[in-house]
Structure 1
């Protein structure tokens, strides 16, 4: 009779045992295919407050009933970053659990302002495209459109497209081109410095008029409205593992140190949406944000690991008076960077920002 706990016997058993794998490889996806994701959360106020608190998103709309009611909500809504993380998390097991680089996200749209706690989430994805990767023969590139729905009504709550490198079962032959293409680091640094405007201006405050007035000051000058935010958030066990697992994100990158020991990072890494939410939390602390509208061109530039500190930088692109009496639409470019001043995330974001009373 086998003693499965005998170390030698168990080691031999592990060598012979088939591994029941999780996740899908590049070859498993077909363009046009719709993937229904079985996981799905009931959005909760506790989960929203945990996410918002740990990522320094302290807009009282998402904490205080009196403020939420004054801003037109029936009850305290869940934070939009928590909603995004829950939609993304439910998709990971089917789409990207195998690992691979998160290349970016586009066309993020919030279809219902003020999603209430207690909403049951249903998530599905459509495979938009597949492409080979000549520079990384062990991977292919897949783009999905993912939508989170209110399971009770079928109404869309949030949607986006995202692109990942996904491991292949069988690597393809690579031509080697593109791995080191482009300018040298010195040439890139010189060009970046030469491209900077002469002046970086900051708005006087956080209301819509402050952003509009700062853009007017920059108009006609070699200037940009761009500034950094004082707060920083150091990545710890809660942000690197607890937050993604609480949103059903099963990617090993965030909680399996053994599996990540031989990866390019050498250790577990932060969920990209934690990094993003921290950066946006820093930015929102210097705005009078009414609600989120959209995000585009989101890119993740480097690993963030436990002990790294995430800071935020904002470039104001536009301020449009719009139709709302009490708010105007402002478009920002946000950059998250670490303690070594290296960009780790960037994206554009449009939000309704309150006007002065």
Structure 2
């Protein structure tokens, strides 16, 4: 009998099933350095221990998305090893900053199942939670993924589609203990724009572009221990291409957003996310943001800004998101709705 793990197929999931994912992963300064090597990130708070201390966070946290990638990667062997595509995210909250030395462990509960009409695939909905070595929740989120069936003749399960919130309510955002932007150093951060300088409906072109390479996206996926075959194996897809991990696009777009949103220092929640189209080596990625909302928080000097971050293949000077038919415009790769914390 084979001792290897072929991954779960659609019919292996049941609503209410809880999966503890291997293996725990300790965050190191190497993760911080490699993240900066892979993505052109310049946000002052995770870059500078002195800046982090000046706003009340000691030790300095790593980028929020480091924690997301690590936690997400843990779920892949059990949830999406046999996936066709990762379809979306919702209700993601960062409960506390992750610092070097933290060890993250992840578990998932299956909260929904829906077989597709072709009988070959189905959509699996899970709520995943990552905790640190003290059992404290670092982040949790809902995602849904399309997964192959092992046996097309296997009976379809009862359809259960969970209800998820359109957005995390501002009062449910979790502000890090001690965070204080009242003496914020705008010169060190790199831009003067603060909470009151952004208007709802404003669109910000982040200007710069990055061309994807196979070496970088595969290094990133290995760093996060994401084992999905489509990212490494050219025989895993009919077109013979390695699919770029969607989280790689998220981090590239977030890093590009520094130009115009340098003071959106911490991601507090991700309200929704969709990978609108696949990306491959050779694609050049650009990004723009739209301000969806602004809100106050109880933390001194700290405001919240809700942003739509869009990544495109090639330059999109019109900042068009959807066509008249409601479908994503050609070239849109990512549509991410999130809350960030910004000085007032």
CA distance in 1 between partners of 2:225 and 2:218 (Å): 11
CA distance in 2 between partners of 1:51 and 1:107 (Å): 24
- Poorly superposed stretches of 4+, deviation over 3 Å: 17-21
Q: Do 1:319 and 1:331's aligned partners in 2 also have CA atoms closer than 8 Å?
A: yes
1:1-357 equivalences in 2 (<5 Å): 20=4, 22-112=6-96, 114-134=97-117, 136-150=118-132, 152-171=133-152, 206-211=193-198, 214-215=199-200, 224-260=201-237, 262-263=238-239, 266-287=240-261, 288-339=263-314, 341=316, 342-355=331-344
CA displacement at 1:49 relative to structure 2: 2.6
CA distance in 2 between partners of 1:289 and 1:340 (Å): 23
CA distance in 1 between partners of 2:10 and 2:287 (Å): 34
**Partner secondary structure for residue 67 of structure 1:** helix
**Partner secondary structure for residue 259 of structure 1:** coil
**Partner secondary structure for residue 101 of structure 1:** strand
Q: 2:183: which partner in 1? A: none
Q: Do 2:74 and 2:106's aligned partners in 1 also have CA atoms closer than 8 Å?
A: yes
Structure 1 unaligned runs (5+)? 1-16, 174-203, 216-223
1:88-141 Cα offsets, whole Å, 9 max, x none, are 0011011111121111011110001x211011111100001111111x421011
Superposed CA RMSD: 2.0
CA distance in 1 between partners of 2:314 and 2:153 (Å): 38
Q: Do 1:52 and 1:82's aligned partners in 2 also have CA atoms closer than 8 Å?
A: no
CA displacement at 1:235 relative to structure 2: 1.0
CA distance in 2 between partners of 1:101 and 1:66 (Å): 41
CA distance in 2 between partners of 1:24 and 1:325 (Å): 47
Distance change (3 Å), C-alpha of 1:167 and 1:231: same
Q: Do 1:205 and 1:286's aligned partners in 2 also have CA atoms closer than 8 Å?
A: no
Q: Do 2:206 and 2:258's aligned partners in 1 also have CA atoms closer than 8 Å?
A: no
Between the two structures, name the one with larger relative contact order (CA 8 Å, sep ≥ 6).
2
CA distance in 2 between partners of 1:48 and 1:107 (Å): 25
Q: 1:186: which partner in 2? A: none
CA distance in 2 between partners of 1:350 and 1:30 (Å): 32
Q: Do 2:194 and 2:342's aligned partners in 1 also have CA atoms closer than 8 Å?
A: yes
Q: Give the length in aligned residue pairs.
A: 293
Q: Do 2:288 and 2:309's aligned partners in 1 also have CA atoms closer than 8 Å?
A: yes
Structure 2 unaligned runs (5+)? 155-190, 317-330
TM-score, normalising length from structure 1? 0.78
Q: Do 1:240 and 1:269's aligned partners in 2 also have CA atoms closer than 8 Å?
A: no
Q: Do 1:109 and 1:160's aligned partners in 2 also have CA atoms closer than 8 Å?
A: yes
Q: Do 1:57 and 1:285's aligned partners in 2 also have CA atoms closer than 8 Å?
A: no
CA displacement at 1:160 relative to structure 2: 0.5
CA displacement at 1:172 relative to structure 2: 5.5
CA distance in 2 between partners of 1:286 and 1:44 (Å): 29
319-328 vs 64-73, greater mean Cα deviation: 319-328
CA distance in 2 between partners of 1:53 and 1:20 (Å): 33
Q: Do 1:236 and 1:306's aligned partners in 2 also have CA atoms closer than 8 Å?
A: yes
Q: Do 2:204 and 2:260's aligned partners in 1 also have CA atoms closer than 8 Å?
A: no
